[in-house]
Amino acid sequence: MAWLSITLELDTLQAETLSEALMEAGADCVALDPAGSRTCLSALARADADPAVLVAGAAAAAGLPPPVFTVAPLADEDWVRRSQSQFGPIQVAGRLWIVPSWHTPPDPPAIVVRLDPGLAFGTGSHASTRLVLKYLEKNIRKADRVLDYGCGSGILAIVAAKLGAGEIAAVDIDPQALETAAANAGDNGVMVRVAAPDSLAPGTFDVVLANILAGPLIALEPLLAVRTREGGRVALSGILESQAAEVVAAYAPDFDAGVIASEEGWALVGGERK
């Protein structure tokens, strides 16, 4: 299959924000290459995509002016080779590693999640994802019922399962993400119920996770509140520190919420259902 490689050079925080928005807008994968105060952002899109529409839509969603970008064709084998050179094992927390399939786990006794960069966002390399993974490593309780809303690659659901959670559901509006999440769960030997949001069975969860963007998270508050049991917990990411107060305010009617962690300009908002 042929692909388009879309390349942009931005301030580091803008690049991180736009990387999330590009995935929401329809890019198949993104990679960030920091260089001082600037970052090169590379996005992969299918050959029939309109790069101008994709970039403009992502910039609008992220609240950024349309950036300058370049486009080049990319063959399948070139993408695989580039991905394997860029992605290595990631130590997310003391005992948790995200390891691509072509690497040997650096610490075999640790909890290892096998995950390759591919056609859905979420390899653990982005600060917003690491914030949730660190939260899970410290807070998942045995047999917790967990909902990963906007699952992408399924990384959060898979890690929750590896840490001992019980029933786990992963939902996404993107069929490609659902297919990828199901495959990744199988590759890691864990049970995750994958479904589109409108196909998810009724019920509440002990822990609800969402690593999306601030705007969609605010809009989703009523839905996520309904899915969180009384006394249950929510962990929300994909939020710039400058946006955190607005997200906290949106969740205040139903949650005792606040900023519980931050990293590299990104915030994790969490709290307990009232």
pTM: 0.72
pLDDT of residue 121: 46
| Residue 35, in any domain of the structure | yes
Q: Are both 148 and 260 inside the same structural domain?
A: yes
Report the percentage of the chain scoring pLDDT > 90.
Answer: 47
pLDDT of 111 > 50? The answer is: yes
pLDDT of residue 200: 93
Q: Are both 65 and 185 inside the same structural domain?
A: no
Give pLDDT tens digits for 224-235: 999 999 999 999
| Residue 263, in any domain of the structure | yes
According to DSSP, residue 125 is labeled -
The 10 Å CB-count burial string (b at 16+, else e) for 98-111 is bbbeeeeeeeeeeb
For the chain, what is the radius of gyration of the CA atoms? 18
Q: What is the CATH number of the domain that holds 13?
A: 3.30.70.260
**201-214 mean pLDDT:** 94
How far apart are the C-alpha atoms of 173 and 263, rounded to whole Å?
27
Domain count of the fold of the chain: 2
Q: Are both 75 and 132 inside the same structural domain?
A: no
**32-37 mean pLDDT:** 69
Q: Are both 166 and 57 inside the same structural domain?
A: no
> Does residue 118 or residue 168 have the better pLDDT?
168
**175-182 mean pLDDT:** 88
Rounded mean pLDDT of the chain?
85
| Residue 191, in any domain of the structure | yes
- Highest-confidence segment of 33-37, 151-155, 235-239: 235-239
Pair of tokens at residue 266: 């990104």
pLDDT of residue 3: 78
User: Which domain covers residue 219, as residue numbers?
Assistant: 120-273
> Does residue 234 or residue 128 have the better pLDDT?
234
Give pLDDT tens digits for 135-162: 999 999 988 999 999 998 899 999 999 9
| Residue 151, in any domain of the structure | yes
Parallel, antiparallel or unpaired: strands 205-211 and 228-240: parallel
Q: Are both 33 and 134 inside the same structural domain?
A: no
Q: What is the CATH number of the domain that holds 250?
A: 3.40.50.150
pLDDT of residue 119: 42
Other beta carbons less than 10 A from residue 175's beta carbon: 9
> Does residue 39 or residue 239 have the better pLDDT?
239
